[in-house]
Structure 1
Amino acid sequence: MSSSSLSATGRLPFHDSELDVRKRVDDLLGRLTLDERLAMLHQYAPAVPRLGVAAFRTGAEALHGVSWLGVATAFPQAVGLGATWDEDLVRRVAEATSVELRAFHLHRPPAEGEGRTSLQAWAPVVNLLRDPRWGRNEEGYSEDPVHTARIAEAFCRGLAGDDPRFLRAAPVLKHFLAYNNEDDRCVTSSGVRPRVLHEYDLAAFRPVVASGAATGVMAAYNLVNGRPCHVSPLLEDELRRWAEPTGHELFVVSDAEAPSNLVDLEHYFDDHAESHAAALRAGIDSFTDHGLDSDTPVERLREALDRGLIDEVDVDRAVRRQLALRFRLGEFDPDLDPYAAIGPEVIDHPRHRVLAARAATESVVLLKNDGLLPLDRAAGPRVAVIGPLADVLHEDWYSGTMPYRVTVAAGLEEAVGEVVRVTGEDRIALRSRTTGRLLADTEFDVTDWGDGVVTLRSADTGRHLGAKYGLLVVEEERIKSWDVHETFRLEPVADDDGTVLLRNVLTGRYAALDAVDGRVAVTAETPGAAERWSREVVRDGAAQARAAASAADAAVVVLGNHPLINGRETQDRTGTALPERQEAVLRTVAEVRPATVLVVMSSYPYAVDWADEHLPAVVWTSHGGQETGHALAAVLLGDAEPAGRLPQTWYRGDDELPHPLDYDVIKAGWTYQYHRVAPLYPFGHGLSYTDFAHRDLRLSSEVVPQGGSLDVSVTVVNTGARAGSEVVQVYARAVDARYEAPRLRLVDFRKVRVGAGEAEELAFRLPVDRLAHWDVARGAFTVDPGDYELVIARSAENHVLVARLTVTGEAPAPRALVDRDTRAVDFDDYAAIALVDENRTTGDAVAPVDPTRPAELVFRAADLTGAVGVEVEVARPGGAGPAWLEFRAADRTLGAVDVPVTGHRYAWTTATQRFEEPLDGVHDLSLVLHGDFRLAAFRLTSSRAVAG
């Protein structure tokens, strides 16, 4: 608020820019009525005219450029930014994004009811890419927590700007926590045991929050250990605890409609007042629910207040966090805000175009090269650019509208002259068996996206066939909507060669002729009611591709996915294979043109085993934005070095991946850290056009104490004939660990550009705590004394130098279980166990996955000396059959505890049992669960404890 606008309200303490921000916030908060404060808990917080306070909304999408607001610079997808391994570049991309976001905020007319564009940027996504089939794979940076945290922190700093007082934009990390599946995402529970929680899922968020780079977090849709993330105690116990030293509190927002899901889908609470109260108390500060309708969520919170489920302190705590953020964004100090003068000309600025080209280029990964690349421009090669992605660029759900589109074909044509462009897609006619008429009076080019899903694009207009308004229409030039109307299945009719049924994927209904007017409607519920269509091939796509390749010197085949089809928000992929028709076109081209490059343009990894075996060159890029074609042309022709490295593992096609809902990366064998089968392309992989040697690995000390640190140095030499970029990756592994340690774990990395014949010495500072694991016996991170290896590598599988390191310190004592409570979830190993909530607000427990079969917990190296009995905390709603908990050690049963019925899963009781004889020695203790009950904790008791 400028000084000139204060006359209506007078100058109040919260207007005083020289006053401490906390006092300004408190002053403003104290002047708001209860109704005004309650209204501020919704995403669309209304203005308070009597105080001169403007309306405020949370949330603008800015994942790889500003999205949903019109034309804006489109950078590579987040997974592509992760592939750059370049923190400075990512920071600059985020800086450009936030500059454009400021321009939209300042100069875009507010949409009705929505207010000005928010400066709270809902980015970056910090969820780890555990499963390459995750529908939102494109939104994350990496499968590794260290890599993800580093890139995310850089993106946050770019969004926020460098001013010590004011934020250019306010970055919000998504989505907390353990969110990696789209199918049934609002009702599925991610089972995350303490080691996985602390070493993997929290490990990506912790450094970003602790650095102060993030200003907020968005809670995830899913449940973790049976409890919805929107009421997770981890919001306060972990996130906000990490943020305390930064001097700023996190502003935590809900995901869209997630507060309502607590009742409507998850049935976790009985009514919305109870659920909203629980979310507010757990730490949700802003409710993104019911769109522009703030009345419904606010009335639920008002009811919660009236019922005593929350009090004004809970409301004030959340509003205070919002106001503190608004002060940091300069809302109340426009005359001092260093970003207030940003003009609309920054949107699609020429500098941003250059940056988009660099980001797209740096993200390209050379997966295989037997000498075909770079293509010899001097030879004037005739190039055929083939495939469904050869001459088109697609936007994803979180893309902005591209200002222009340089396709792969266009980029190559600009660089080498005329190229041949063919899609390799069949052109077909669908003719009604009833009327003989062509569907929509046009022929269609058919694109196969896998799993039998195709799109049909009019050969006359280039627009897609879609099912809208109950009819089939040829309407959309681009597919970009939440509900995709333009995907179909051509289902063959049995015993009727060439005849198909046309089924819309979104509705599941078939095309049929309207009995009244003969129009084609998408209304048939069954195949029997559907119209039959003759599928006539007008142009054979494979033959077209073959001819183009035969006439060329080199073929570039561009295959991959559409970001809004078969793998997107709300839909996971079913596998990792290329679409069948795309693979067939590739093989056809390679058969006649050995000099074939496969370019995979995708949001996620594919199993390209055949291509790796039979083609001389394979390249990957994410959907790289407006400059994709220039970037790929530069790399394919050698004008730029392939500088990207894979941010996640590319598994082989016959590698059976774990179940998507198995979140235990350790036991399931996810990611390069624990996967037990050699991948097709490993994490960190990426080839170069030059050669590098690594030498002179030195440690400042080969023996370091727990809590110490050391310096690691290595020299990188470019032994090739051209300059290039190398990503030096530093991994660690424990030798002979007492726990199931990672095969390898990234502890540091550095991207460096080295001139031909030049050398670069790199130094890394390595605190010993980077070798730590979560010790379940102590409930803390621990670095075990013993031997470790530090590995300098070009990827997780390509190790070039290894050094041995010894950590000194006190060896861990056997696990003490006698006369102390041990949480059931703090096991070392398990079988057939599900992680569940102890109650609605806090605590985890365990239960058998299948109550009809035994389940087991193992507590290793436990000192059982002196134990004469056991106490267990159990809950048992009821059910048929007995339930008991068996204790075993040294291949014998020590005793068993009968579990009584308690009547509810949250009704806990203590059951006890004496052992037949006192226990002695250190053993692996097994707890075997029989029947339907929950176990929260147990305590081995000594005779002294019993007597007391």
Structure 2
Amino acid sequence: MRMLSSLALAASLACAPMFAGAAPAATATAALPAPAGAPQADKQAFINDLVARMTTEEKIGQLRLISIGPEMPAKQLMQELAAGRVGGTFNSVNRAENRPLQEAAMRSRLKIPMFFAYDVVHGHRTVFPISLGLASSWDMAVVEKAARVSAIEASADSVDATFAPMVDISRDPRWGRTSEGFGEDPHLVSQCARASVRGFQGSSPANPDSVMAFVKHFALYGAVEGGRDYNTVDMSLQRMYQDYLPPYRAGLEAGAGGVMIALNSVNGQPATSNKWLLRDLLRKEWGFKGVTVSDHGAIDELLRHGVARNGREAAKLAIEAGVDMSMADSRYLEQLPSLVKSGEVPASILDEAVREVLGAKYDMGLFADPFRRIGKAADDPADVDAESRLHRAEARQIARKSLVLLENHNRTLPLKKAGTVAVIGPLADAPIDMMGSWSAGGKPKQSVTLLQGMRDALAGKGTVVTARGANITDDPRVVGYLNFLNWDNPEVVQDKRSAGDMIEEAVRVARGADTIVVAVGETRGMSHEASSRSSLGLPGSQQLLLRALKTTGKPLVVVLMNGRPLTINWEKENADAILETWYAGTEGGHAIADVLFGDENPSGKLPLTFPRSLGQLPSYYNAPRIGRPFTPGKAPNYTSQYFEEDYGPLYPFGYGLSYTTFSMSDVRLSGNKLSRGGRLTASVTVKNTGDRAGETVVQLYLQDVVASTIRPLKELKDFRKVMLAPGESRTIDFPIDEAMLKFYNAKLEYVAEPGDFNVQVGFDSAAVKEAGFRLE
């Protein structure tokens, strides 16, 4: 780390919180306190002076966020920077490449520095588990650590800002971007949002080893109709405020300096032109003081949405709505000069956007030192992909925490480090898929596959035999789609043997083994932006492989690799064990082997619901109560259920097994009444009743029994992850106060209404112990 100059240190201390205003959410934390040092007024005086000296063209230039690559060749970009016509770029992660760009910006008339951004979502050079995997840890220290290491690595590559965390609530797993988020629950996702922002920004986004976080996608992107990417969202304000908005607000309260705007529409208005969303809610109601950026090409898309007739109208709508920076389109450059000159866009609106951009750069520390993350050429790494730049130990430990044990019949797992294990499946030796989507600067050659992890674990103790067994899919249309953007270097490479020959080989190999470990699921491209699915089962080629392996009679351990819940009914009934591994990152193969062989006791819990079928979608645990609910054990006629299949999810939210067992006492309350401003405590005693140490997650849910509007069946309000030795007991106390009971009523008032409440505590959302109290 380079030493800060006194000027740089002063600038870092001058960073003020990006969020102002009280938070209504029950789980909200207070805005970050203002750091000591230069007062906020100095920052504003500096920016105001700079804006006063800028020409209209220079101001508009600051609103341009340019993608490095085909969209603008390097030579042209250097010219634009020197002319002061670019505010920032993204997609370059090399100090040697970025240095001349910043030097060009320093040759501009006012020498305004640019910033470099990148999609550092779950790792940079070291790839951590996808966000769903991080959320599965239910451990905020794990989530924060992944973001902190990511920031250290990204900033060392001259990155100033990341378009993360992605905190969209997702309740329809058909949506491809489910893999990027933290799940379905407002409380858990909000906690992950805070932890991620803390990790990315550290004590200040001006620190040389920190990057500014841009919370995305604002707003409601995870609620697109039918789970189809870029689709419309039509939602009541009450549900919006209660379920979908809290995670964005949590990230902003944690100090995130930026917001990326969603591509979808919200109640008939594209987010990119939605004044209510970006001005009334984000700026006025929430008091956000940071910078907003459009998503890729979103301003131009206002024409296709049908709210703008031409580029001029699109640019006007976007900047009036509150879009500060235009990502990867030219509408602001082309249209704003004449719009401002004619008065159609007031100069004050342009100045407002410019101030936010300059303010973000100030808070990144770039005015104090434009090269604070670029450094000197003499210090550039000789090899940016060098092994020494990775954080493998952290990646392995974090990946271990992300794995969820779904089934373990007859204690099939953990396996013994002896004998012969057959490692089979199209994802058994897939280094690029192990990294998952949006893997930043990660390199497939540096990721550990399941096959390699198993070989390393059994080295000198047992034998690993292997066979591919099947292609990921035999559907040429799907393969063509997945390889469309990588036609010159396809990610999905088909084995040209027949399906029958591949299965025959796999069965032959499996018959000679003691245990079968089969890796199935989705390629990373199947759980990615624009990869919405109309089915959630394993592709047919993989299903045939599993059925064939089952006939061997050998213990069948299914290792799932996927970025969304899958409908795995046959697998649940027929596999001896199922381990959900998501996409586990650079050290995924070692981490999975650690769990399979018992070096790590799995402790992950599902951050979203696994449905039985597509017919159950959307499927989430905290659904609103209804008048004719299905009640197990009672006649199903004229109740809300699907009569062709069992009621309820395949695996509930919060579910996950361990190699040990736990018991829980009944819920004890410190009182049966809660007064306004008071507090009571719910307590349970948890005991490890098994024969080895293990962690579990104790989850607290609340239910409002009678309210002025329909309330959910239950809502997660708190949780504790606890490690217990065999036979050890521990009492877990959950404080409950009035704030935890609040909700948005029909008037959008944030209230806690008097009445009865049920306290539910369990190891998942379905199996809970219950007690009640009354709010006076």
Q: For the superposition of Structure 1 and Structure 2, which TM-score range results when normalised by the shorter chain?
A: 0.7 to 0.9
| Cα distance in 1 between the residues matched to 2:664 and 2:371 | 50
Residue 360 of structure 2 is matched in structure 1 by 325
Would the alpha carbon gap of residues 336 and 723 (structure 1) be closer, same or farther in structure 2, given more than 3 Å must change?
Answer: farther
| Cα distance in 2 between the residues matched to 1:732 and 1:536 | 55
Residue 562 of structure 2 is matched in structure 1 by 602
Is 2:55 aligned against 1:30?
no
| Cα distance in 2 between the residues matched to 1:547 and 1:784 | 65
| Cα distance in 1 between the residues matched to 2:577 and 2:218 | 39
Q: Report the CA distance between 1:544 and its aligned residue.
A: 1.4
| Cα distance in 2 between the residues matched to 1:152 and 1:144 | 12
| Cα distance in 1 between the residues matched to 2:408 and 2:315 | 56
Counterpart amino acid of residue 563 in structure 1: R
| Cα distance in 2 between the residues matched to 1:576 and 1:750 | 31
| Cα distance in 2 between the residues matched to 1:309 and 1:765 | 54
Counterpart amino acid of residue 591 in structure 2: A
Aligned partner of 2:305 among 245, 255, 266: 266
Q: Report the CA distance between 1:32 and its aligned residue.
A: 1.9
Aligned partner of 2:762 among 779, 782, 793: 793
- Residues 284-433 of structure 1 aligned to structure 2 (within 5 Å): 284-290=323-329, 294=330, 296-334=331-369, 344=381, 349=388, 352-377=391-416, 380-393=418-431, 394=433, 395-400=435-440, 401-402=442-443, 404-417=446-459, 418-425=463-470
Counterpart amino acid of residue 491 in structure 2: R
| Cα distance in 1 between the residues matched to 2:229 and 2:310 | 17
Aligned partner of 2:686 among 716, 721, 730: 716
Q: Which has the higher helix share?
A: 2
Per-residue CA deviation, residues 293-332 of structure 1 (Å, 9 max, x unaligned), is x5x4222112221332211111111111111111111112
Q: Secondary structure at the match of 1:634?
A: helix
Structure of greater relative contact order (alpha carbons < 8 Å, 6+ residues apart): 2
Provide TM-score, normalisation by structure 2. Answer: 0.80
Per-residue CA deviation, residues 712-762 of structure 1 (Å, 9 max, x unaligned), is 333322222221111111111122445322111111112222222323333
| Cα distance in 2 between the residues matched to 1:86 and 1:161 | 18
Aligned partner of 1:746 among 696, 716, 721: 716
Per-residue CA deviation, residues 901-929 of structure 1 (Å, 9 max, x unaligned), is xxxxxxxxxxxxxxxxxxxxxxxxxxxxx
Q: Secondary structure at the match of 1:419?
A: strand
Q: Report the CA distance between 1:540 and its aligned residue.
A: 1.3
Aligned partner of 1:283 among 319, 322, 326: 322
Would the alpha carbon gap of residues 281 and 711 (structure 1) be closer, same or farther in structure 2, given more than 3 Å must change?
Answer: farther
Would the alpha carbon gap of residues 185 and 595 (structure 1) be closer, same or farther in structure 2, given more than 3 Å must change?
Answer: closer
Task: Name whichever of 645-654 and 17-26 sits farther off.
Answer: 17-26
Q: Report the CA distance between 1:100 and its aligned residue.
A: 1.0
Q: Which of structures 1 and 2 has the bigger CA Rg? A: 1
Q: Secondary structure at the match of 1:448?
A: coil
Would the alpha carbon gap of residues 275 and 86 (structure 1) be closer, same or farther in structure 2, given more than 3 Å must change?
Answer: same
Would the alpha carbon gap of residues 720 and 335 (structure 1) be closer, same or farther in structure 2, given more than 3 Å must change?
Answer: same
Residue 236 of structure 1 is matched in structure 2 by 279
* Residue ranges of structure 1 left out of the alignment (5+ in a row): 7-12, 67-71, 106-116, 426-445, 457-463, 480-485, 489-534, 809-948
| Cα distance in 2 between the residues matched to 1:760 and 1:2 | 46
Residue 478 of structure 1 is matched in structure 2 by 491
| Cα distance in 2 between the residues matched to 1:562 and 1:25 | 47
Q: Report the CA distance between 1:639 and its aligned residue.
A: 0.5
Provide TM-score, normalisation by structure 1. Answer: 0.66
Q: Once the two structures are aligned, what percentage of the paired residues are identical?
A: 31
Q: Secondary structure at the match of 1:190?
A: coil
Is 2:517 aligned against 1:556?
yes
| Cα distance in 2 between the residues matched to 1:542 and 1:335 | 58
Would the alpha carbon gap of residues 352 and 655 (structure 1) be closer, same or farther in structure 2, given more than 3 Å must change?
Answer: same
Residue 630 of structure 1 is matched in structure 2 by 590
The Cα RMSD (Å) is: 3.6
| Cα distance in 1 between the residues matched to 2:249 and 2:290 | 13
Would the alpha carbon gap of residues 336 and 38 (structure 1) be closer, same or farther in structure 2, given more than 3 Å must change?
Answer: closer
Residue 501 of structure 2 is matched in structure 1 by 540
Counterpart amino acid of residue 270 in structure 2: P
Would the alpha carbon gap of residues 612 and 538 (structure 1) be closer, same or farther in structure 2, given more than 3 Å must change?
Answer: closer
Aligned partner of 1:89 among 142, 157, 173: 142
Contact 2:412-2:555 at 8 Å conserved across structures: no
Q: Report the CA distance between 1:262 and its aligned residue.
A: 0.8
- Residues 38-53 of structure 1 aligned to structure 2 (within 5 Å): 38-44=60-66, 45=86, 47=105, 49=107, 53=111
Per-residue CA deviation, residues 576-598 of structure 1 (Å, 9 max, x unaligned), is 11111101111111121341111
| Cα distance in 2 between the residues matched to 1:2 and 1:753 | 40
Contact 2:263-2:270 at 8 Å conserved across structures: yes
Contact 2:234-2:267 at 8 Å conserved across structures: yes
- Residues 906-945 of structure 1 aligned to structure 2 (within 5 Å): none
| Cα distance in 2 between the residues matched to 1:669 and 1:239 | 38
Would the alpha carbon gap of residues 376 and 397 (structure 1) be closer, same or farther in structure 2, given more than 3 Å must change?
Answer: closer
Q: Secondary structure at the match of 1:98?
A: helix
Per-residue CA deviation, residues 510-553 of structure 1 (Å, 9 max, x unaligned), is xxxxxxxxxxxxxxxxxxxxxxxxx9849612211211221111
Q: Secondary structure at the match of 1:713?
A: strand
Aligned partner of 2:542 among 573, 582, 587: 582
| Cα distance in 2 between the residues matched to 1:4 and 1:357 | 36
Per-residue CA deviation, residues 853-872 of structure 1 (Å, 9 max, x unaligned), is xxxxxxxxxxxxxxxxxxxx
| Cα distance in 1 between the residues matched to 2:446 and 2:715 | 41
Aligned partner of 1:448 among 473, 484, 487: 473
Counterpart amino acid of residue 120 in structure 2: A
Aligned partner of 1:197 among 231, 234, 240: 240
| Cα distance in 2 between the residues matched to 1:335 and 1:39 | 18
- Residues 166-177 of structure 1 aligned to structure 2 (within 5 Å): 166=207, 168-177=210-219
Would the alpha carbon gap of residues 2 and 94 (structure 1) be closer, same or farther in structure 2, given more than 3 Å must change?
Answer: closer
Counterpart amino acid of residue 758 in structure 2: E
- Residues 667-682 of structure 1 aligned to structure 2 (within 5 Å): 677-682=647-652
- Residues 250-265 of structure 1 aligned to structure 2 (within 5 Å): 250-263=290-303, 265=304
Is 2:121 aligned against 1:78?
no
Would the alpha carbon gap of residues 141 and 361 (structure 1) be closer, same or farther in structure 2, given more than 3 Å must change?
Answer: same
Per-residue CA deviation, residues 815-867 of structure 1 (Å, 9 max, x unaligned), is xxxxxxxxxxxxxxxxxxxxxxxxxxxxxxxxxxxxxxxxxxxxxxxxxxxxx
| Cα distance in 1 between the residues matched to 2:628 and 2:466 | 42
- Residues 557-706 of structure 1 aligned to structure 2 (within 5 Å): 557-565=518-526, 567-653=527-613, 655-658=615-618, 677-695=647-665, 697-706=667-676
Q: Report the CA distance between 1:415 and its aligned residue.
A: 1.0
Would the alpha carbon gap of residues 336 and 764 (structure 1) be closer, same or farther in structure 2, given more than 3 Å must change?
Answer: farther
Would the alpha carbon gap of residues 28 and 790 (structure 1) be closer, same or farther in structure 2, given more than 3 Å must change?
Answer: same
| Cα distance in 1 between the residues matched to 2:577 and 2:652 | 17
Contact 1:449-1:562 at 8 Å conserved across structures: no
Residue 186 of structure 2 is matched in structure 1 by 145
Would the alpha carbon gap of residues 350 and 305 (structure 1) be closer, same or farther in structure 2, given more than 3 Å must change?
Answer: closer
